[in-house]
């Protein structure tokens, strides 16, 4: 069911929601959080709502969408309430703000927040330079951005390094979960030699490729080369080098990967590029700070960039460095 409330107020929206619960039996008692989605693109708004609806089947929530419209229009709030089949396991409130109200999203959101429930803010497109200092970001326990959705994804990722505050995360990081799990589990198998270097290959504009390289640099403490691939998509391959032979995952088509290990037959593994709804659902499972993401952001400056041939010519680490790298390899296993 979809109810439109043109030229309304948040008080009238709240009143209508109470009326709907009393007459239709829709209750908010089972909602575990409030998800606030901030968009400025009408087409992106519907895509974000659909992703939130899908994620809500695992995390029932009240979804408040702040859709900012033309700032040169007369101040106006148009609201829309979606419940039932149009809202997944959630109740969705869409607030379309125009004129001076477009920059006052927080004031419109506060009256609609669920009492005593965590607040998660999500910017599916362009995000504030410092999400934690944004008025809506200040209301939130967790702040989710998506560097891959920006016009310049790598620049957006760099800004996340400077602006990080506990509670921040990015879907470019969430997309790495399968890669991290596969690489960490590969280290559980013999031979148990220290990693001497790593190479990550991916599209030039793939922030996930940078984050994977940064994660390896942080926890293996070895030189990591970030190589640009002319076509992508996303991450194309990752290689961990050690004396007996390399552990390598190749995923040229963005769907199926091949895992190569010394002394083991090649294995095909499912590495489909993850949908936004799956990444969002994963992020909503935790409301505590993501320390691994924080450490990875801090290690982005350590990765080396250049052709893959340069990585192949790197000399193995000295004995002392190899010994020091052995323990961090186990750290990677635990953090995935």
- Relative orientation angle of helices 276-283 and 42-56, to the nearest 10 degrees: 60
> Are 119 and 184 members of one domain?
no
- Residue 25 falls inside a structural domain: yes
Supply the pLDDT for residue 250: 96
- Residue 172 falls inside a structural domain: no
Supply the pLDDT for residue 177: 96
Distance from the Cα of residue 17 to its chain's centroid: 31
- Residue 158 falls inside a structural domain: no
Query: Which distant-in-sequence residues (6+ apart) come within 8 Å of 124 by Cβ?
Result: 37, 39, 44, 47, 48, 51, 146, 149, 276
DSSP annotation of 139 reads: T
> Are 8 and 83 members of one domain?
yes
User: What are the helix and strand counts (H, E) for the chain?
Assistant: 12, 15
Supply the pLDDT for residue 25: 59
> Are 131 and 213 members of one domain?
no
> Are 127 and 195 members of one domain?
no
- Residue 165 falls inside a structural domain: no
Listed residues 90, 122, 145: the one ending a domain: 145
- Dist CA 99 CA 76 (whole Å): 7
> Are 193 and 99 members of one domain?
no
- pLDDT tens, residue order, the chain (336 aa): 889 999 999 999 999 988 888 886 555 457 889 999 999 877 789 999 999 999 988 889 999 999 988 888 899 999 999 987 776 767 899 999 999 888 888 999 999 999 999 999 999 999 999 999 999 999 999 999 999 999 999 999 999 999 999 999 999 999 999 999 999 999 888 888 899 999 999 999 999 999 999 999 999 999 999 999 987 789 999 999 999 899 999 999 889 999 999 888 999 999 999 999 999 999 999 889 999 999 999 999 999 997 754 444 344 333 333 333 334 344 453 333
Listed residues 103, 125, 145: the one ending a domain: 145
User: How many domains does the structure of the chain reveal?
Assistant: 2
> Are 328 and 188 members of one domain?
yes
- Residue 164 falls inside a structural domain: no
> Are 249 and 202 members of one domain?
yes
> Are 191 and 123 members of one domain?
no
**Element spanning 23, H or E:** helix 10-24
- Dist CA 220 CA 69 (whole Å): 46
- Relative orientation angle of helices 291-298 and 153-163, to the nearest 10 degrees: 110
> Are 134 and 259 members of one domain?
no
The order of strands in the sheet holding 247-250 is 267-270, 256-260, 247-250, 235-241, 197-203, 224-229, 304-305
> Are 117 and 183 members of one domain?
no
- Residue 168 falls inside a structural domain: no
The domain in which residue 240 lies consists of 177-335
- Residue 160 falls inside a structural domain: no
- Dist CA 291 CA 130 (whole Å): 18
- Residue 271 falls inside a structural domain: yes
> Are 110 and 64 members of one domain?
yes
What would the two tokens of residue 98 be?
Answer: 């125009």
> Are 236 and 312 members of one domain?
yes
């Amino acid at each position: 069911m979809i109810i439109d409330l043109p030229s309304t107020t948040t008080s009238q929206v709240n009143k209508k929601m109470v009326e709907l619960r009393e007459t239709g039996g829709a209750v908010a008692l089972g909602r575990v959080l409030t998800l606030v989605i901030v968009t400025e693109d009408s087409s992106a708004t519907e895509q974000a709502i659909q992703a939130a609806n899908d994620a809500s089947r695992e995390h029932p929530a009240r979804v408040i969408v702040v859709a900012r419209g033309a700032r040169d229009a007369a101040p106006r709030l148009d609201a829309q309430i979606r419940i039932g089949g149009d809202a997944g396991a959630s109740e969705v409130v869409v607030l379309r703000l125009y004129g001076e109200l477009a920059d006052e999203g927080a004031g419109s959101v506060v009256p609609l927040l669920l009492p005593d429930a965590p607040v998660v803010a999500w910017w599916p497109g362009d995000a504030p330079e410092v999400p934690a200092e944004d008025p809506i970001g200040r209301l939130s326990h967790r702040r989710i951005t998506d560097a891959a959705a920006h016009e310049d994804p790598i620049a957006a990722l760099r800004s996340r390094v400077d602006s990080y505050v506990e509670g921040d995360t990015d879907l470019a990081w969430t997309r790495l979960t399968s890669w991290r799990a596969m690489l960490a589990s590969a280290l559980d198998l013999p031979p148990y030699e220290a990693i001497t270097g790593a190479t990550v290959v991916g599209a030039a504009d793939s922030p996930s490729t940078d984050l994977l390289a940064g994660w390896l640099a942080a926890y293996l403490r070895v030189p990591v080369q970030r190589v640009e691939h002319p076509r992508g998509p996303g991450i194309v391959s990752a290689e961990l080098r050690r004396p007996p032979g390399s552990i390598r995952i190749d995923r040229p088509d963005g769907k199926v990967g091949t895992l190569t290990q010394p002394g083991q037959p090649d294995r095909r593994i499912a590495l489909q590029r993850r949908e936004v709804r799956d990444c969002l659902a994963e992020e909503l499972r935790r409301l505590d700070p993501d320390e691994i993401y924080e450490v990875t952001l801090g290690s982005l400056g350590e990765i080396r960039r250049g052709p893959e041939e340069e990585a192949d010519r790197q000399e193995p680490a000295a004995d002392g460095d190899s010994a020091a790298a052995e323990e961090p390899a186990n750290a990677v296993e635990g953090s995935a």
